[in-house]
Structure 1
Amino acid sequence: MSQPERKLVSFPGAAAVRGQRDPRIDAFRGAALVMILIDHIPGNPYEALTLRNFGFSDAAEAFFVMSGVAAGIAYSGRMERWTNGEGSLREAVTPIWHRAWVLYLVQMVMTVVVLAMFAMAANVFLRPELLQMHNISRIFDQTGAALTGLAALSYHIGYVNILPTYIVLLLLAPLAIRAGLRAPWPTLAVSACIWFVGGWLRLNVPNYPGGGGWFFSPFTWQFIFVLGLTIGIRHRRGERLVPVNRPLFLVAAGFLVLVLAWKFIPPFGVWMNNKMWLLGKLGAPANIVTHDKPFLAFPRLIHAVALVYVVSCLPQLRDWCAHRLAAPLRMLGRQGLAVFAWGSVLALGCQILLKVEPGSALLPWLLPPLAVLAIFGVAAVHERNRTAKRTAATPPARTTGGLVARA
């Protein structure tokens, strides 16, 4: 069997073709963006349907791992050519760091827009308490320090704090991609050690002003990003990082079932929590026995890893994600940055409205669907613009002897 046609998994019907865009990547990223938007509007009834209610991890882990997969696919080709002596290091690194710069600009714009929204709402609705939410007050109480921190990515507003960690990881991505191309498993082993030490010692980037650390510590969240990178590197070659193995699949699926029982069967959940507490009393580090999100504690991490493996082994999911009914989610995934930025702003706008009208029974039901429809509109506009640019860049057709030929 030729390399482009080689089956990557042993389950029937689950084959992948090298060079062919995997519909799961865009569809799952789109689904993660929808869940992030819904989860960022606290108190709405749709929260009960998002991933965090069915396991320890949530859409944030999905965001990081899918971002890593996308980066591995997009950037490892140039890095591999440079490694093989066929290109320059500058050509390999520039697209990655340019993307990090774009994300930095998006973070600046998002933060400024949200600050303006809350300041205007506090004035218009006579609700000064809005300025006390999400660390916003520091921009008014410590303006100079907050502006300095904003430019340095050390001043974060609540719910607008995921991109700084992603920016740092992208800046370090060339090193991780280079290592992942040569030795993926040693690379993951080093990354896992950094994750463990970072969580054990509570290593983080400090916030300024205000103290404390980033909500997503780069020292720990790097592991799930690097995992995605190595998956993406292999995927670009038409290979799997971890082959499908039925016993391993059953173990991963069994763990997901265990977590469901942990969350939905109260006596069992109490018993398991007690065992984790006892393990901590015996000296186990906090990042092993808690569910701490900023340091990506072990229960969250292992749940996300198990979920990624199980999902990757199910051939039906590829077919479902390729179906025309999943096209809107794939569109969201393809326009991930614009959708994430607008979704974050819309979610905080919804929070303002819910704060202004706390007694409304309609708004919690109405606002999230409207916000989701809005991000689909954003994605559609960007998709149309991208298509128009590609069409404009395509050389015009010319006719020769009655036949149409491409110039």
Structure 2
Amino acid sequence: MPELVAHRRDYRVDLLRGVALMMIFINHIPGTFWEHLTSRNFGFSDAAEGFVLMSGIATALAYGPIFMRDRTPPMALALRPWRRVLTLWWVHVLVVLGILGLFFLTVQDPAVAAMSVKRNIARALEDPMLFVPALVALSHQFAYADILPLYIVLLLAAPAILAAGVRWPRGLMVASLLLWVVVGIFRIRVPTWPLDNGWFFNPLAWQVVFVAGVLTGLAMRQGQRWLPMRVWAFRLALAYLCLAAIWVQVPVVAAWGGHGLWMVHEYLGAPSVFTSFDKSFLHLPRLLHILALAYVLSALPALTRLSENPKLAPLVTLGQHALPVFAASTGLAYVAQVTKAMVGPSFLLDTALIAAGFAILFALAGWLSLRKTQRAAIPVEHRV
């Protein structure tokens, strides 16, 4: 059995998750100046990949010890991630019903009506008796509110992934990669209903980055690294990150690079899963980018110092309350989108909306942290 080490909370994960939440909020309000400053403008992946990777790490840190102490733990302990699934599900339902209500009140505005079509909301407004049950069952999803269903599916699979990760970590990673390749080559989708659009965040493909996070977290609980630190690997990962940044920032490089990948696909027969940038199926350039970024960041001692800097404590707190913060940010982002549509483009309005959203999210995280501290101070027998 793997040996557990004394657990000390790694604030790097909280800090990076807080940063990812901020970038996701900005990216979920498209058409602002500020979205040009988020990570997706400097590489092939974006905050969503980082969020799922860190969710895998957090899942292993929280639930992995159960499987590391006992290869066949009691069912009630092994299925603890499923309790989190129930929370995720009702939070998601509240968020999407809130979004539906927001559009019901504002859809008379032509710009909002046009947005409702683009966001996959219009049909739900026309026939709520059919689409509300589909929303509740995760079978119909709104754009910019479709990450939580992915996380729900991944957490449903978490007990099996954790058990396999403890016993056969390399075998699990190989199996995960094979599934990712097969899904990408044959374009295997998770269907939706009543409209067969397929899940945008395809869990059959995105599981690979979640599994990578789980294996990383399991290694951390043993005081180890999943991927050992090597100078040549660090330099290679850093070179790939620099190439990706130049690629997305310099149009001529993107044109030549894209043409080169197209030639590899057309003339060498390489599957598109290796040569394109599809986000839904998490194609190779995006997958390699988030893994390279995680590898490089994990090797930087400065990141540890930053995560323990009191000045960045609010960001750490944001990452520690990822679920309520993410749910609130999704609703706030939609309020901002509707406001922008009704008022029109304005740098000052965009800035005010984003600043107000950040203020609410940080206040929410601070309040949750304070409540947790106060609850911990109450003797167990006196807690309600």
Residues 111 and 341 of structure 2 are in contact (CA less than 8 Å); yes or no, is this contact kept in structure 1? no
Residue aligned with 1:241, SS: coil
Deviating more after overlay: 114-123 vs 210-219: 114-123
List structure 1 segments (4+ residues) > 6 angstroms apart after TM superposition: none
- Residue 359 of structure 1: CA displacement? 4.1
Q: Shift of the alpha carbon at 1:219?
A: 0.8
Native 8 Å contact 2:61 2:221 kept in 1: yes
Amino acid at match of 1:33: L
| Matched letter for residue 236 of structure 1 | R
> CA offset at residue 81 of structure 1?
2.6
Asked whether 1:352 is paired with 2:341, we answer no
Structure 2 equivalent of residue 49 of structure 1 = 37
Change (3 A) 1:97 1:359: closer
Q: Distance in 2 between matches of 1:63 and 1:254?
A: 23
Q: Tell me which moved more, 377-386 or 51-60.
A: 377-386
Where does residue 204 of structure 1 map in the other structure?
189
User: 2:307 corresponds to which residue?
Assistant: 321
What secondary structure does 2:132 align onto? helix
Q: Counterparts in 2 of 1:206-245, with a 5 A limit?
A: 206-245=191-230
Matches within 5 A, 1:4-403: 18-83=6-71, 87-93=73-79, 95-123=80-108, 128-282=113-267, 283-393=269-379
Query: How much does 1:102 deviate?
Result: 0.6
Query: What SS class does the counterpart of residue 224 from structure 2 fall into?
Result: coil
User: Which of 277-286 and 39-48 deviates more?
Assistant: 277-286
Q: Which residues of structure 1 form unaligned runs of 5+?
A: 5-16, 397-407
Distance 1:360 1:267, change over 3 A: closer
Aligned residue for 2:62, secondary structure, equals: helix
CA distance in 1, matches of 2:205, 2:380: 44
Unaligned runs of at least 5 residues, structure 2 = none
Give, in angstroms, the shift of residue 193 of structure 1. Answer: 0.4
Structure 1 or 2, whichever has the larger Rg, is: 1
Q: For the Cα contact (< 8 Å) 2:14–2:319, is it kept in 1?
A: yes
Q: Is the 8 A contact 1:35 1:59 kept in 2?
A: yes
Q: Distance in 1 between matches of 2:279 and 2:365?
A: 29
What secondary structure does 2:107 align onto? helix
* 1:361-384: CA deviation from partner (whole Å, max 9, x where unpaired): 421222112111110011111111
Secondary structure in 1 aligned to 2:70?
helix
1:43 Cα deviation after fit: 1.2
Instruction: State how far apart, in whole Å, the 1-side matches of 2:197 and 2:109 are.
Output: 32
Cα distance in 2 between the residues matched to 1:127 and 1:28: 33
**Aligned residues: percent identity?**
36
2:142 and 2:296 map into 1 onto residues whose CA distance is 35
Partner Cα separation in structure 2 for residue 393 and residue 292 of structure 1 = 51
Distance 1:31 1:127, change over 3 A: closer
Instruction: Verify the 8 A CA contact 1:139 1:146 in the aligned structure 2.
Output: yes
Amino acid paired to 1:308: A
Structure 1 residues 81-140: Cα deviation after superposition (integer angstroms, max 9, x where no partner): 331x6x4132221x2000011101111000001111111122589954454341111213
> What is the rounded CA distance, in whole Å, between the counterparts of 1:46 and 1:170 in structure 2?
32
- CA displacement at 1:395 relative to structure 2: 7.4
Q: TM-score, normalised by structure 1?
A: 0.89
Does the CA contact (< 8 Å) of 1:252 and 1:306 recur in 2? yes
How many angstroms apart in 2 are the aligned matches of 1:339 and 1:250?
A: 35
| Greater CA drift, 268-277 or 97-106 | 268-277
Is contact 2:44-2:286 (8 Å) kept? yes
Where 2:361 maps in the other structure, the secondary structure is: helix
CA distance in 1, matches of 2:19, 2:368: 18
**In 2, distance between residues paired with 1:301 and 1:279?**
18
CA drift of 1:338 comes to 0.6
Aligned counterparts of 1:244 and 1:395: Cα–Cα separation in 2: 47
- Cα deviation for residue 246 of structure 1 reads 0.7
Residue of structure 2 in register with 1:404 after alignment = none
CA distance in 2, matches of 1:361, 1:300: 30
Aligned residues: 379
Is the Cα contact below 8 Å between 1:253 and 1:310 reproduced in 2? yes
Say which is worse superposed, 46-55 or 357-366, in terms of deviation: 357-366
8 Å CA contact 1:52–1:58 kept in 2: the answer is yes
Distance in 1, matches of 2:111 and 2:215, equals 51
Counterpart in the other structure of 1:10: none
